[in-house]
Amino acid sequence: FNYRNHARFTVRFGGQLGFSNRITRRFVRVDECMLMDSKINSFLSQLQDNSSETTNLSIRVGANTDDYLIQPELSGPDIDFETGQKWYVENMLNREFRVASPSFFQVNTKQAEFMINLVGDKLGLNGDEILVDAYAGVGVFASLLSDRVRKVIAVEESQAAVKDALFGLNDLHNVHYIQGKTEEILEELEEKIDVIILDPPRTGCHPQAIASVLSAKPNKIAYVSCDPPSLARDLDMLVQGGYQIDSVDPIDMFPQTYHTECVATLSRNN
């Protein structure tokens, strides 16, 4: 319980905060959510019935810091803390990351830290690889695995996420960020890629991205997914393209729900 660092609330009826069913649109008032970080519940108790200025409210908090972000900005007389922040700072494995409101960040910080170490260990990095971090987001994999490889090329489409990543990369001279779509950037890279990390959205990789991975012929691939059907689809294409699945490790990233995160590692057949 109390693991989620991000909550999105619907606002109804005089500033009430709650959740809406995606299909029926039925609204349920929520005064406390046991899945949310205690700091989110603390903000919720103060914002409940005081947020009629908006129809939706987002709260993000640092699990390992005291920083937070509440969007949009609210000006109610009963709100005695700052709102409307553009970004907040989280610390993961002794490194700070800036996360803007539009940027993706794992909702379970503790399990995300475990996952990063798992990916690094499963790939068996020896320090001489060129690693591509595709769908890199704010640079979590790129930054935290940079000391295990020779060079990291991080590819991310979101301009906001790239700005967040660059904010914390000043001391990492072997990490290079490229803004663009994975399926397009991979085709343009001229360097021999040894390892690729794929961490796409729930829908999985664009078919051309899989084709570009197969053309790059990395020795190892780590595929991070929160959607088993799209993971199975993409793994099938990678296997058909000459890779073997070495392991699939489920991670309970979303406790008390039926959702799960998986890390699949693959190696190229000789």
Mean predicted confidence (pLDDT) in 21-27:
92
Please state whether 56 falls in left (phi above 0), alpha (psi between -120 and 50) or beta: beta
Is residue 22 very low, low, confident or very high in pLDDT (cuts 50, 70, 90)? confident
**pLDDT on residue 201:** 93
The number of CA neighbours under 13 Å toward the Cβ of 91 is 6
**pLDDT on residue 75:** 87
For 126-139, letters b (16+ CB in 10 Å) and e give eeebbbbbbbbbbb
Q: Report the percent of the chain where pLDDT is more than 90.
A: 93
**pLDDT on residue 270:** 76
Token pair of 243, please? 């890779």
Q: Letter for the amino acid at 194?
A: D
Domains and CATH numbers, the chain: 6-85 (no CATH), 109-268 (3.40.50.150)
**pLDDT on residue 13:** 86
Could you confirm whether 262 is annotated as catalytic? no
Is residue 76 very low, low, confident or very high in pLDDT (cuts 50, 70, 90)? confident
**pLDDT on residue 91:** 96
Does 78 score more than 90 pLDDT? Answer: no
Does 245 score more than 80 pLDDT? Answer: yes
Mean pLDDT of the chain, nearest integer: 95
Question: Using one digit for the tens of pLDDT, what is the confidence trace for 156-215?
Answer: 999 999 999 998 888 899 999 999 999 999 999 989 999 999 999 999 999 999 999 999
Is residue 240 very low, low, confident or very high in pLDDT (cuts 50, 70, 90)? very high
**pLDDT on residue 120:** 95
CA distance 123 to 192: 17
pTM, 2 dp: 0.92
Is residue 4 very low, low, confident or very high in pLDDT (cuts 50, 70, 90)? very high
Cα 209 to Cα 30, 123, 206: the distances in Å are: 41, 20, 5
